[in-house]
Structure 1
Amino acid sequence: MILINYPDRDQWAEILQRPALDTANLFDTVQTIIDRVRKEGDKAVLTYESMFDKVELDTFIVSEEEIAEAEKLVSVELKAAIYLAKKNIETFHAAQRFEGKKVETIAGVTCWQKAVGIEKVGLYIPGGTAPLFSTVLMLAVPAKLAGCKEIVLCSPPGRDGKIHPAVLFAARVAGVSKIYKAGGVQAIAAMAYGTESVPKVYKIFGPGNQYVTAAKQLVSLRDVAIDMPAGPSEVEVLADETANPVFVAADLLSQAEHGVDSQAMLITTSEKLQKEVMYEVERQLGYLPRRDIASKALANSKLILVKNIKEALEITNVYAPEHLIVQTKDYQAIAEQVVNAGSVFLGPLSPESAGDYASGTNHTLPTNGYAKAYSGVSLDSFIRKITFQEITPEGMRAIGPAIEVMAANEQLDAHKNAVTVRLDALNK
Structure 2
Amino acid sequence: MIRRIDLRGRLATGEVLDYRALVPRAPVDVEAALDAVRPICADVRHRGVAALKELTSRFDGVDVDDLRVPESVLHAALDGLDTDVRAALDESIVRARRVHADQRRTDVTTTVVPGGTVTERWVPVQRVGLYAPGGLAVYPSSVVMNVVPAQEAGVEEIAVASPPQQGPDGLPHPTILAACALLGVTEVYAVGGAQAIAMFAYGAGDDAGTGCAPVDMVTGPGNVYVAAAKRLLKGVIGIDAEAGPTEIAILADAAADPRHVAADLISQAEHDTLAASVLVTDDGALADAVEAELDVQVAATKHVDRVATALGGDQSGIVLVDDLEQGLAVVDAYAAEHLEIHTRDAADVASRVRNAGAVFVGPWSPVSLGDYAAGSNHVLPTGASARHTSGLSVQSFLRGIHVVEYDEAALRDVAAHVETLADAEDLPAHGAAVRARFTAGGVQTGGSAGTTTGDTS
TM-score bracket, shorter-length normalisation: over 0.9
CA shift at 1:27, angstroms? Answer: 1.8
Residue number in structure 2 paired with 1:276? 289
CA shift at 1:398, angstroms? Answer: 2.0
Query: Kindly, what percent of the aligned residue pairs are identical?
Result: 37
Superposed, 1:295-314 pairs within 5 Å as: 295-300=308-313, 301-314=316-329
Partners of 2:221 and 2:242 within 8 A in 1 = no
CA distance in 2, matches of 1:12, 1:407: 46
Residue number in structure 2 paired with 1:223? 236
Opposite residue 71 of structure 1, the aligned amino acid is L
Match of 2:402 among 387, 399, 416: 387
CA shift at 1:6, angstroms? Answer: 2.6
Say yes or no: does 1:427 pair with 2:446: yes
CA shift at 1:267, angstroms? Answer: 0.3
Partners of 1:326 and 1:344 within 8 A in 2 = yes
Residue number in structure 1 paired with 2:178? 169
Give SS of 2:117's match.
Answer: strand
Say yes or no: does 1:209 pair with 2:223: yes
Match of 1:360 among 375, 384, 390: 375
Match of 2:384 among 369, 372, 382: 369
CA distance in 2, matches of 1:376, 1:415: 40
Say yes or no: does 1:319 pair with 2:338: no
Residue number in structure 2 paired with 1:59? 66
CA distance in 2, matches of 1:362, 1:159: 30
Between Structure 1 and Structure 2, how many residues are aligned? 427
CA shift at 1:78, angstroms? Answer: 0.8
Say yes or no: does 1:45 pair with 2:52: yes
Structure 1, 304-313 or 386-395: larger mean CA deviation = 386-395
Residue number in structure 2 paired with 1:200? 214
Residue number in structure 2 paired with 1:128? 135
Give SS of 2:212's match.
Answer: coil
CA shift at 1:5, angstroms? Answer: 2.3
Residue number in structure 1 paired with 2:306? 293
Residue number in structure 1 paired with 2:345? 330
Residue number in structure 1 paired with 2:451? none
CA distance in 2, matches of 1:30, 1:365: 23
CA shift at 1:361, angstroms? Answer: 0.7
Q: Which is greater in Rg?
A: 2
Say yes or no: does 1:31 pair with 2:38: yes
CA shift at 1:179, angstroms? Answer: 0.1
CA distance in 2, matches of 1:49, 1:394: 63
Partners of 1:140 and 1:175 within 8 A in 2 = no
CA shift at 1:281, angstroms? Answer: 1.2
Task: Flag the 1:69–1:111 CA change in 2: closer, same or farther, 3 A.
Answer: same
CA shift at 1:382, angstroms? Answer: 0.7
RMSD over aligned CA atoms reads 1.3
TM value normalised by structure 2: 0.91
CA shift at 1:259, angstroms? Answer: 0.4
Residue number in structure 2 paired with 1:259? 272
Partners of 2:71 and 2:186 within 8 A in 1 = no
CA shift at 1:175, angstroms? Answer: 3.1
User: What residue ranges of structure 2 are gaps of 5+ in the alignment?
Assistant: 11-15, 206-210, 448-457
CA shift at 1:11, angstroms? Answer: 5.7
Residue number in structure 2 paired with 1:3? 4
Match of 1:118 among 105, 119, 125: 125
- Deviation sequence 1:68-112 (CA, Å, 0-9, x none): 221122111111111111011111011011112211112221111
- Deviation sequence 1:1-57 (CA, Å, 0-9, x none): 112223545363433110111122222221111111111111111111111110111
Residue number in structure 2 paired with 1:233? 246
CA distance in 2, matches of 1:283, 1:11: 33
Give SS of 2:108's match.
Answer: coil
TM value normalised by structure 1: 0.97
Opposite residue 171 of structure 2, the aligned amino acid is K
Partners of 1:229 and 1:370 within 8 A in 2 = no
Partners of 1:400 and 1:423 within 8 A in 2 = no
Partners of 1:238 and 1:328 within 8 A in 2 = yes
Residue number in structure 2 paired with 1:145? 152
Partners of 1:141 and 1:175 within 8 A in 2 = no
- Deviation sequence 1:250-308 (CA, Å, 0-9, x none): 11001100101110000011111101111111211112111111111112310111110
CA distance in 2, matches of 1:240, 1:306: 10
CA distance in 2, matches of 1:362, 1:227: 13
Partners of 2:282 and 2:327 within 8 A in 1 = yes
Partners of 2:74 and 2:186 within 8 A in 1 = no
Partners of 1:235 and 1:323 within 8 A in 2 = yes
Partners of 1:146 and 1:379 within 8 A in 2 = yes
Partners of 1:396 and 1:423 within 8 A in 2 = no
Say yes or no: does 1:250 pair with 2:263: yes
- Deviation sequence 1:142-188 (CA, Å, 0-9, x none): 11111111111100011121211211111122232410001111111
CA distance in 1, matches of 2:19, 2:239: 31
Partners of 2:78 and 2:181 within 8 A in 1 = no
Opposite residue 30 of structure 2, the aligned amino acid is T
Say yes or no: does 1:107 pair with 2:120: no
CA distance in 1, matches of 2:334, 2:29: 19
Opposite residue 3 of structure 1, the aligned amino acid is R
